[in-house]
Chain A
């Protein structure tokens, strides 16, 4: 259970990225965060594992106060939260295997890893993770040699190495074409369904939201403006959609829910 209470983030330049955001996520949910770019989605996700320090508010995870954790405790929190990114954020010059192994950095001793030494079971874990995302062949290639979809799968493998309870996915498919988008979200859905991992994912397209989300929150200018269940989102009207996205919002008519969408749009 992840409980976020009155989370506020004000950047040094005065930008109010998050304003008193409160919501909670039960274990095993697939929570999708929607909102325009600049609405605070990325900031929200990064506050959860404190890549960005929240200005005020509280994040409680299974009874532990994440916002109050010192660096040792934060390390333990972070290693149980996997994260994948819009631009994959792989180290492009390093090999796929090294990128995946980096997922274990939160668990192992610091000094051996500085010489790229990892315990044997971690190496086996990496091989297994790469197999799971179907990249066994590519493990010795440089990350930069891979296609976008493959790079995002490496990102997922890296997150899997952490054996996470939560995966934060910041626009994981925004740089990919629609077919690849379904592949990547399919992996996340599988992890959510089969292993009970909580997924917190920001997405742009309503179609994808309707297809994958079990719970949805909407942000607009840093404020929580929408909160809905799987049923709510499936019955979402254009008015609600526009409330989140603003007047300029347009539906992208792709994906498997085209029929429903037309009904909604009428």
Chain B
């Protein structure tokens, strides 16, 4: 064929069909890819068979998933098409196109006796896989828009969480008065007015608590009249109730907490029924409850909140975890790196066996993610940063062992020979010829690893490995988005600083 001779590319490889062209075409129409195999294009034939089988299997399983509880194949098909018409029809069309194209390709290749490009065939297969992938991974771009307003609340808290980062000291002004429960014992004396200090007078000083009757009706207790003075003027004042063993709560009147606002002189008057409260049957002797009027106000300079302090402490823990894991990783990986260096271990079959064994172990350990190692370490040593350190150390040893051993394999023997030729001893040779060659990759890889370890340790807490990830995960689950936001901010800042610092160190040293 003259065109064949003119151009020389892969498509010009001649096809040697076993049967006439129509046979190949029909074969591929019956079993897609069979025609190609008959054309002795085995690789292409198998690829087509596997792709189309995969597409059809996924297509059917997807339809079944879309039509649960239906059994008839026609019902399933109609229901599934009804639910996701566009995607399923697209997949169907692409599959049919690919199928027909396969037959056409087999026929044409056999007839022309050369490989055809068949870009359209593979495009159809890719389209079908893409549409299926879109379906199976539940991509829903609409959701991104419709759900956005809901996300804004938590998201805005995460983006600017600092409100939760500060707190103020509470300053409390309070006064209390005793109230005796029941009528068996004599009533205590009421408080007296004081000239300077806040005071609270309750009348009467003895009464019955609210009760619930047998028919579930609330029977209000004795109405107490409270009057107080010498409080801060024009300030909301809460009324609290404290039982004989010190449990306190705010009584409610009509569903609202009882509170009152002081007048310009700092005095107030209010009244409420004694609250519902169980007195344990074992209580003996007079039971005194306490009514308290309390004014709480924030005072003093802004202080870091508990969440902020916890986040900082955990961040420090995180960085330290990364540091310790890197330190131990370097420590253990240096000797291992020598065992994993081909040039060092090529002496005998014993050392080569050690070399292969070390390499294999390193590869296995490295292929398991630190998060998985952390899960194992948590079982081993319990929750906390130590488990995280073990996980990160294991992974670091494996990663650094490989990198270091490659650095060792890459060293130039020439300088070693030259230093030996000067009459230098073994230690001097190591110091003057080996170490200078290894120092820069060692430092570079170690810093790189430190970087990775700190990043990793921010997340390893999610599985209980200590560090900031633990509280971040907890805050998110408790829907405390501001506190979570603080943790996110700290992680981002730390990682950014670390990135910059490690890049700087590397630039300066190397």
Q: Which residue on chain A has the smallest CB distance to residue B419?
A: A102
Task: Decide yes or no whether A234 CB sits under 8 A from chain B.
Answer: no
**Does B423 lie within 8 Å of A91, measured CB to CB?**
no
**Does B428 lie within 8 Å of A78, measured CB to CB?**
no
Interface segment among B120-128, B311-319, B436-444: the answer is B436-444
Task: Decide yes or no whether B431 CB sits under 8 A from chain A.
Answer: yes
Task: Decide yes or no whether A217 CB sits under 8 A from chain B.
Answer: no
Chain B contact residues, CB within 8 Å of chain A: 412, 414-415, 417-425, 427-428, 431-433, 436-437, 439-440
Q: Mark A59-85, 1 if CB is under 8 A from B, else 0.
A: 000000000000000111111011101
**Does A105 lie within 8 Å of B423, measured CB to CB?**
yes
Chain B interface mostly helix, strand, loop or mixed?
Answer: helix
A91-B415, A93-B436 known; A114+B421 contact, CB < 8 A: no
Which of A87, A106, A155 has its CB near the most chain B CB atoms (within 10 A)? A106
Q: Which residue on chain A has the smallest CB distance to residue B434?
A: A91
* Chain A min CB distance to B352 (Å): 14
Report the Cα distance A217→B437, complex, angstroms.
36
Across the interface, A105 reaches (CB within 8 A) one of B417, B424, B437, namely B424
Chain A contact residues, CB within 8 Å of chain B: 46, 49, 51, 74-79, 81-83, 85, 87-94, 98, 102-107, 110, 113-114, 155, 158, 161-162, 168
**Does A113 lie within 8 Å of B415, measured CB to CB?**
no
**Does B420 lie within 8 Å of A110, measured CB to CB?**
no
Report the Cα distance A113→B422, complex, angstroms.
14
**Does B422 lie within 8 Å of A105, measured CB to CB?**
yes
**Does A51 lie within 8 Å of B421, measured CB to CB?**
yes
**Does A110 lie within 8 Å of B421, measured CB to CB?**
no
Contacts of A77 in B (CB 8 A): 423
* Chain A min CB distance to B348 (Å): 10
* Chain A min CB distance to B503 (Å): 20
**Does B421 lie within 8 Å of A105, measured CB to CB?**
no
Contacts of B439 in A (CB 8 A): 93
**Does B414 lie within 8 Å of A105, measured CB to CB?**
no
**Does B432 lie within 8 Å of A162, measured CB to CB?**
no
Report the Cα distance A152→B128, complex, angstroms.
64
Listed A/B pairs (10) with beta-carbon separation below 8 Å: A49-B421, A89-B418, A98-B432, A102-B419, A102-B424, A105-B423, A105-B424, A107-B423, A158-B418, A168-B421
Q: Which residue on chain A has the smallest CB distance to residue B431?
A: A114
**Does A106 lie within 8 Å of B424, measured CB to CB?**
yes
Report the Cα distance A79→B422, complex, angstroms.
5
* Chain A min CB distance to B219 (Å): 91
Contacts of B421 in A (CB 8 A): 49, 51, 78, 81-83, 168
Report the Cα distance A69→B346, complex, angstroms.
27
Contacts of A75 in B (CB 8 A): 423, 425
Report the Cα distance A92→B468, complex, angstroms.
43
**Does A91 lie within 8 Å of B432, measured CB to CB?**
yes
